[in-house]
Chains A and B, each alone.
Chain A
């Protein structure tokens, strides 16, 4: 059980200033909750995040391409249907099938990548405040027992409306 402090802010710049200050004071376990995506704003403070989902998308596309090709050619190989001198293994129509499966698998793998990295679905009880799906911006900081008071003070000074002690599982 880790201890943590959750501060709720009304303004994004207040919250980011607090995150910045805490980060510079050496706190590493910082999580930001927000009702809207704040990609760029957060990356300024907490540093840039890598985009690993793209490897999933790419890999899915490649898998899909070969899946479609194999399916069409494989079916033709298993049971040859000669039609008036047309090729048994026709490349052009097979490309259309593999085009579709490329996209299909690309989408499916992207979804898989998202779920893996975002750690969803997850139905365990976790630290959360329903206010952050309305209009509050939350700042969750992992702390030790001794640091609780300091962090609470910093959060309040920098504009948090409410500061709560929470337990992380």
Chain B
């Protein structure tokens, strides 16, 4: 691949340091208002309803026979899905040495970590008795509740905790040189903090060498990991016998959907970041052009798998499969949601074929938000249109989420936003050293 210019070439190394440190140390009133609102959202929309649910019992949710998986698990899959692009994309683009990765990957990786965290908390919310979570931990115990390693839910425990650990380390080790650069430029408590976090990094040739080698291995290990994580999440459903869930296509369907929604999440986040942090010179329309192409490809893949899923179910022509499809595609309110999803995820992204649309930041933002609305609906439909229509009609029962569940769904967005707002002040959200690499190595003689 030829080297392309992704930023204005007249940026100096010093300017990069100053700009990134500025995003961390200077915050206006707007920042504090946003932080206050999002934290209030966490308390009132998430923590208090959760406390109410724990105090009263799971009866405050809309869950009842036969639907015991509802909006909480929708959110769980949604947030795991969002997490997928950050680290995965960063790893793939690192290995293929794609230059436009450099200024966006740090916040994309943070997005991964925070959304896995949000997703993991939904498991606890769903659990009902969250203080018993340690029953899923793999250690021999005295209560004779031995873990069943043949259950997809157990696979999930391993997959998610591995993914969380690995994506955290990928984020952290890639940031060490930048934490050192920040350490050299701040004072007071910040100096102490970044001094400790940067582990005493000095930028010697040996340190760079080993960091590069270790980072490459992280990247190589994370790609199969990310694919396995969403495959395993899909097996929570696909390894059951429920019509509409027992599908062989589910693992790739989920992986593609996850990368799709994650990439859309990156676009949304980049639009907001570049504006609010005033880093337009590092994240340019060229980045949106490339991300737009990626979204287009993922959209086509996702639509293809979606068509296949419906087609194979319809072609089988069994009464329960037909019922599940009819319920999902032609019964209100699910029909409205289904066709809205098809509109936002299959038709709207087709606009990205045009270069002008990809270069327009506001249209990119609208399309990316639409995609994530659609992806949330997809996960909601998977759960809520399958379980209420099991084999025998006497078991049929519709599910509708209660106010507590809806409130916690909105609260999870507050939680994610709070974490991200804290992140942009505590962590260099644009990679200093890799942006410098993009600018070029300073040589006296021409010819680089």
Residues of A within 8 A of B (CB): 10-14, 31-39, 41-42, 46, 49, 51, 53-54, 57, 68, 71-72, 75-76, 78-79, 81, 83, 86, 90, 93-94, 96-97, 99-101, 103-104, 106-108, 110-111, 113-115, 117-124, 126, 128, 130, 132-135, 159
Contacts and interface: CB of A to CB of B under 8 A. Distances in A.
Contact of B150 (A37, A42, A86, A130): A86
Contacts of A57: 217, 221
Contacts of B150: 83, 86, 90, 93
B225 A78 contact: no
Contacts of B184: 130, 133-134
Contacts of B146: 75, 78-79, 81
B272 interface: no
A42 B205 CA distance: 8
A75 B154 CA distance: 13
Interface in B187-240: 195-196, 199-214, 217-218, 221-222, 224-225, 228, 232
B162 interface: yes
Contacts of A83: 150
Nearest to A104: B162
Nearest to A72: B149
Given A103-B166, A133-B203, A134-B14, A159 B210 contact: no
A37 B201 contact: no
A64 B250 CA distance: 27
Chain A contact surface mostly: helix
Contact of A38 (B138, B185, B205): B205
Contacts of A75: 138, 140, 146-147, 149
A25 to B, nearest CB: 19
A124 B432 CA distance: 25
Interface residues of B, number: 65
A133 B182 CA distance: 9
Given A104-B162, A123-B200, A13 B445 contact: yes
B435 to A, nearest CB: 9
Contact of B202 (A10, A33, A36, A100): A33
Given A11-B442, A71-B138, A135-B13, A100 B155 contact: yes
Given A13-B444, A37-B211, A103 B149 contact: no
Contact of A121 (B13, B200, B225, B444): B200
B12 interface: yes
B149 A134 contact: no
B181 A35 contact: yes
A39 B205 CA distance: 8
A132 B410 CA distance: 45
B161 to A, nearest CB: 8
Contacts of A132: 202-203
B140 A100 contact: no
A96 B169 CA distance: 22
Nearest to B178: A133
Given A53-B210, A97-B158, A106 B204 contact: no
A114 B149 contact: no
Contacts of A31: 204-206
Residue of A76, A83, A96, A113 contacting most chain B CB atoms (<10 Å): A96
B214 A12 contact: no
B4 interface: no
Contacts of B161: 104
A119 B204 CA distance: 11
A97 B149 contact: yes
A153 B441 CA distance: 25
B148 interface: yes
Contacts of B151: 93
B155 A97 contact: yes
A133 B180 contact: yes
A36 B158 contact: no
Nearest to B184: A130
Contacts of A113: 210, 214
5 contacts: A75-B147, A83-B150, A100-B155, A101-B162, A110-B218
B158 A100 contact: yes
Contacts of A94: 149
A79 B161 CA distance: 25
Nearest to A130: B184
Going nearest first, the 6 A-B pairs with the smallest beta carbon separation are A135-B13, A114-B214, A121-B199, A130-B184, A72-B149, A133-B181
Nearest to A125: B200
B444 A14 contact: yes
Interface string B427-448: 0000011101100011111000
Contacts of B147: 75
A32 B207 contact: no
A108 B208 CA distance: 19
Contact of A118 (B14, B148, B196, B206): B206
B118 interface: no
Contacts of A103: 162, 166, 221, 224-225, 228
Given A100-B155, A111-B214, A34 B162 contact: no
Contacts of B204: 31-33
Given A37-B212, A79-B146, A103-B225, 8 more contacts: A32-B204, A78-B146, A97-B155, A110-B217, A114-B213, A118-B210, A133-B203, A159-B444
A51 B211 CA distance: 11
Interface in B1-57: 12-14, 17
B318 interface: no
